[in-house]
């Protein structure tokens, strides 16, 4: 019921969403989130991002969080695709697709999964500009976004 | 025990992984960082601020106080910036 892929190649968000719903009439909502490489970081133009990852652990961590999402919400399908390697501005980085009967579950689960991908999945972004290569620093905002899911719900 | 390094921890140490024989008094992740930091200039640089370094034992996130006995593989890396 879940598709998880780590890949160097680009992905087609529309095709991934269509694959989740094909031949089914129980799904009433599909949320598709795509993270895209920006052309500037803190106002400075960038040439590319290079994503390093810890492959075996990334697969395990993402699977664990997808299972957690499936426990929290009544999901009818989940797809997570995370790219690694060199990615230039305008290119896709990450895809989360969630499907459910009603929109609330799909929206919440997509946001939950993205918050965890940002802070717990072992990926590291390096920014390549004309002058230098620098590692992106983790932000307190991303930590806060992930932490709100740790509070008891309801 | 296999030790793996990622991102700027890897760059500073100058290798992706290595097999290390640990002395018996190194029992936690925190001990291991202190022990590694004393191995040379590049390690000292990598582990100069252990508070910012994250660790995983056998591919699961752990805290610095986690025991390392029985671990097959320990990884060190900066806070994650994926997504």
pLDDT tens-digit readout, A43-62 = 889 999 999 999 999 999 99
**What is the average pLDDT score of chain A?**
94
Query: What ipTM did this prediction achieve?
Result: 0.95
- What pLDDT does residue A130 have? 87
CA B79 to chain A, closest CA, distance in angstroms equals 6
- Assess contact for B29 and B57: CB atoms under 8 A: yes
Instruction: Report the C-alpha gap between B7 and A18 in whole angstroms.
Output: 35
Instruction: Report the C-alpha gap between A94 and A89 in whole angstroms.
Output: 13
Tens of pLDDT along A85-98? 999 999 999 999 99
Looking at beta carbons, which residues of chain B come within 8 Å of A117? 82-83
Residue B82 to residue A51, Cβ atoms within 8 A: yes
CA A50 to chain B, closest CA, distance in angstroms equals 10
Task: Please say if the pLDDT value at position A153 is more than 60.
Answer: no
Burial B20-41 (b: 16+ CB within 10 A, else e): eebeeebebbbbbbebbeeeee
Tens of pLDDT along A7-25? 999 999 999 999 999 999 9
pLDDT bin (cut points 50, 70, 90) of residue A154 is very low
The three-class DSSP label of residue A38 is: coil
Q: Which domains does chain A have, with CATH numbers?
A: 2-150 (3.90.1170.40)
- pTM to 2 decimal places: 0.93
């Amino acid at each position: 019921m879940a598709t998880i892929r780590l890949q160097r190649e680009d992905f087609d968000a529309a095709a991934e969403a269509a694959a989740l719903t094909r031949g089914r009439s129980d799904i009433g909502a599909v949320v598709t989130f795509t993270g895209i490489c920006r052309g500037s970081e803190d106002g400075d133009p960038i040439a590319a991002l290079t994503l390093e990852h810890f492959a075996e652990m990334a697969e395990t961590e993402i699977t664990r969080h997808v299972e957690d999402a499936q426990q929290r919400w009544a999901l009818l399908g989940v797809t997570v695709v995370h790219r690694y390697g060199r990615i230039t501005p305008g290119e896709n980085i990450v895809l989360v697709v969630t499907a459910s009967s009603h929109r609330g579950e799909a929206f919440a689960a997509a946001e939950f999964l993205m918050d965890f991908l940002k802070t717990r999945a072992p990926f590291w972004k390096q920014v390549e500009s004309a002058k230098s290569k620098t590692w992106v620093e983790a932000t307190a905002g991303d930590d806060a976004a992930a932490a709100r899911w740790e509070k008891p719900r309801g | 025990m296999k030790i793996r390094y990622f991102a700027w921890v890897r760059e500073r140490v100058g290798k992706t992984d290595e097999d290390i024989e640990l002395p018996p008094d190194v029992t936690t992740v925190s001990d291991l960082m202190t022990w590694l930091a004393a191995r040379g200039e590049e390690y000292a640089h990598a582990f100069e601020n252990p508070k910012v370094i994250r660790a995983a034992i056998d591919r699961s996130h752990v805290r610095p106080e986690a025991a390392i006995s029985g671990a097959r593989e320990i990884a060190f890396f900066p806070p994650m910036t994926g997504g």
